[in-house]
Chain A
């Protein structure tokens, strides 16, 4: 083998190694932060769920599945989990249907379309805490708007946020109002991708607008709908800001959601081990949703 060939190989390898090192250096700063604040806490949280919370004079020790046993026997855990499912079940179908309706309207020939679209979308960019402050007043007994409207129909004053039967519902209504406009834009993007000639042709052929919507538009919107549904579900487990303002999870945990309960356990009772155990459940739920979404993204790539 000629020396020049060997030399060339070494130089090429060196060049390649230099590129590797360079790429990893580019990646390094972001990786450090991601590992520190995403991957390490995921693994660390699972780890911590098998240990006891360190208290003064009592260091953390391995307790096996004790935290999980405690969780299964914790009625509040089951309540917040049930609440979370009810919350998702109450908010998501309505907000997604409204979003679809909004998108169809805004995409059509509606007088004042721009204003209507702005009205639908504005709640999305406002902070949840700020709008919850406003809604808190709506729900106030007697002086709040809701009670005043009810008063017009002769319905007695009601403590909407203080009643365990209505507290969670109040959060659901706020969530619908906040999110529908956000989901609308995804449907809008999808609708704009459907060529108008398709509808014209169908109408000429004698198909009704409703028939066309049901048989053509809706099936074409299915991938978007799935995407929005998964995102909405993830959101319903991830966003609990309004609880801080409206109910603080009360009365008697009637309106508490999983992440809010984690916050209370961790920063109210300072039981970090149990909070980590609860976080593991939340992560499991999010992972299932993530896998669903990931499969969907892969499908999209195939389409393109």
Chain B
């Protein structure tokens, strides 16, 4: 009797877990259904409804998605390149050098982990405008390039590198900079991967700062483009919106589905600072 009762509980749990999974997947599945069917079939779940690619064609025609893709691609790669270079240098200083003001400098870095540029849109807009970078892709990425989070992660990775390796390289006559490039950077590869994935997803998805700082098609990233395209004023129906949305998220979504493990682990790492 006891066993049967707990069996029932077990099945109930499985059913609940699957129901929740279905609910969580439903919006995306529904958008996929809508994107591949004519609008008339959007709320009629008939397996035999005709499939079509027209929605993707009209989405591509209505909004300059190619340009948005290019902008997002440039933004993401430019931001990541800047972050990797600047954070590597700064993290090296924190991990392996003693210098006056180190403690203070590190506390100032921690401030940015807590208060990110995302909430400082008002003053940052004024600064960016003084720098003449409003409505440029560099202007979107620049506030994020000195990334406290990147410095923090890489500093931890560098600190775990055994000193002996550094000593050995020094004996062979390597200078500080070549020690960084030949010893530290290669050994921190997993951290670079984790940070890279988090940074790319973050900037692919970021919206508030880009919407503040851009005002033309030539600079708007995908997220900002989607918000204009999806607005009711644009007069596009839900099937086309779904198609556009799928287009915009597909590169990241496919990458995620292929490298799920790395993504999940990177996000985990990014939280547990």
A residues in contact (CB < 8 Å) with B: 19-20, 22-24, 26-27, 29-42, 44-45, 48, 98, 101-102, 105-106, 110-112, 115-116, 118-138, 143, 145, 148, 177, 180-182, 185-186, 188-189, 227, 231, 237-238, 240-241, 244-245, 259, 262-263, 266-267, 272, 275-276, 279, 282-283, 286-287, 289-290, 293-294, 297
Contacts and interface: CB of A to CB of B under 8 A. Distances in A.
Report, as a range, how many residues of chain B touch the other chain.
Answer: 35 or more
B16 to A, nearest CB: 8
B256 to A, nearest CB: 5
A286 B114 contact: yes
B267 A19 contact: no
Contact of B207 (A23, A34, A244): A244
Given A283-B115, A297-B273, A125 B253 contact: yes
B169 interface: no
A259 B94 CA distance: 33
B253 A40 contact: no
Interface string B147-177: 1100100000000000000000000000010
Given A38-B112, A115-B21, A185-B267, A262 B121 contact: yes
Interface of A is mostly: helix
A132 B211 CA distance: 16
B123 A48 contact: yes
B122 A118 contact: no
B120 A41 contact: yes
A125 B205 CA distance: 8
Given A121-B264, A137-B238, A20 B100 contact: yes
Contacts of A29: 85-86, 89-90, 146
Contacts of B125: 266-267
A185 B24 contact: no
A227 B121 CA distance: 26
Contact of A290 (B23, B24, B114): B114
A26 B176 CA distance: 11
Nearest to A260: B208
Given A40-B127, A128-B207, A287 B114 contact: yes
Interface of B: 13-14, 16-18, 20-25, 27-28, 30-31, 43, 85-87, 89-90, 92-94, 97-102, 105, 108-112, 114-127, 142-148, 151, 176, 201, 204-205, 207-208, 211-212, 222-224, 226-227, 230-231, 238, 241-242, 245, 248-249, 252-253, 256-257, 260, 263-264, 267-268, 271-273
Contact of A126 (B28, B110, B273): B28
A297 B178 CA distance: 33
A64 B168 CA distance: 61
Given A98-B20, A110-B17, A240-B208, A33 B123 contact: no
26 contacts: A22-B97, A23-B93, A26-B92, A31-B108, A33-B86, A35-B108, A36-B127, A37-B146, A38-B146, A44-B126, A48-B123, A105-B20, A106-B17, A127-B207, A127-B248, A129-B223, A132-B230, A133-B245, A137-B238, A180-B24, A259-B208, A263-B208, A263-B212, A266-B125, A267-B212, A287-B114
Contacts of A22: 97, 176
Contacts of B93: 23-24, 26-27
A86 B224 CA distance: 28
B90 A27 contact: yes
A41 B123 contact: yes
B124 A112 contact: no
B127 A263 contact: no
